[in-house]
Amino acid sequence: MGPRCRYPIAKGMRDEGFVEWVSEIDVVAAPLPSPPCTRKLPRDLMPRTLEGQITMEKTPSYFVTKEAPARISSMAKGTKLIVVVRDPVTRAISDYTQTLSKKPDIPTFESLTFKNRTTGLIDTSWSAIQIGIYAKHLENWLLYFPIGQILFVSGERLISDPAGELGRVQDFLGLKRIITDKHFYFNKTKGFPCLKKAEGSSKPHCLGKTKGRTHPDIDQEVVQRLRDFYRPFNMKFYQMTGQDFGWD
Ligand SMILES: Nc1ncnc2c1ncn2[C@@H]1O[C@H](COP(=O)(O)OS(=O)(=O)O)[C@@H](OP(=O)(O)O)[C@H]1O
């Protein structure tokens, strides 16, 4: 027997309450194996999906991984894809905040943003910037999947109206609308919606400490420059998805 595969995202899913949410609607959440195992058919490594269940897998980096669409399509071309997107400028700052929490000595956000600050040339090779060019990544997916097979969830609405966005997710997956307003409350201290009851518990459940970190103050001129940079890509993304995410 070969070495056991690691399941790198299982913990993250649990941290985010994802497993609890999906299992409530009888969905099997099973992560794909980590890179050493990718040559094996992930199907063989996953628990069996029983009648009436849907298997879900979540890895944020798939959306920006060049090889992902071809691999997923060759494995199961009918796979339904869900992408959560937020304002790319806020996303870049959030990404930077996460790195900063692990490496406090990194340069400032402002200095990493530019190849040349005087000319205002943005460093598009910096992953925090690159990931937010959604239209470009989506083009790669549309070579393998029809647009109707992809649901785009607004990260902003997931906060302002979690039940509404989850309603769209349930419809897209062909599930009964079981998760509704009744499942959420707004936690003022956290500044985010939380679940009234986590599965198997009578206690409320909010996402962990690493979600919803306070972002550092960024020079508004830099923020504006980034807004200008992303605008055409955002417009193209709205056109491709048929949804206006209201990021401008
Ligand atoms: N309910 C609730 N509670 C806490 N946080 C919430 C919630 N809903 C959405 N968010 C937003 O999720 C952001 C973190 O998610 P990430 O996608 O960056 O996480 S991860 O990279 O997949 O670990 C996190 O980004 P930051 O605010 O930058 O920390 C939040 O804005």
Instruction: Summarize pLDDT for 49-81 with one digit per residue, the tens.
Output: 888 888 888 888 999 999 999 999 998 899 999
Q: Is residue 103 part of a domain?
A: yes
120 lines ligand 1 (CB under 6 A): no
Q: What is the dihedral of CA 137, 211, 242, 180, to 10 degrees?
A: 140
Q: Is residue 65 part of a domain?
A: no
155 Cα: distance to centroid of ligand 1 (angstroms): 8
Q: Is residue 131 part of a domain?
A: yes
Instruction: Give the residue numbers spanning the domain of 198.
Output: 79-241
Q: Per the structure, how many domains does the chain have? A: 1
Q: Is residue 7 part of a domain?
A: no
**Which of the four pLDDT bands, split at 50, 70 and 90, describes residue 32?**
very low
Q: How far apart are CA 133 and CA 137, in angstroms?
A: 7
Q: Is residue 43 part of a domain?
A: no
Res. 30: pLDDT tops 60:
no
CATH number at residue 95: 3.40.50.300
pTM metric for this prediction: 0.84
208 Cα: distance to centroid of ligand 1 (angstroms): 9
Q: Is residue 84 part of a domain?
A: yes
- Tokens read off for 234: 């955002």
Q: Is residue 106 part of a domain?
A: yes
The whole-angstrom distance between residue 175's C-alpha and the CA centroid of its chain comes to 21
Higher pLDDT, 200 or 109: 109
- Give me the pLDDT at residue 21, please: 37
Q: Is residue 220 part of a domain?
A: yes
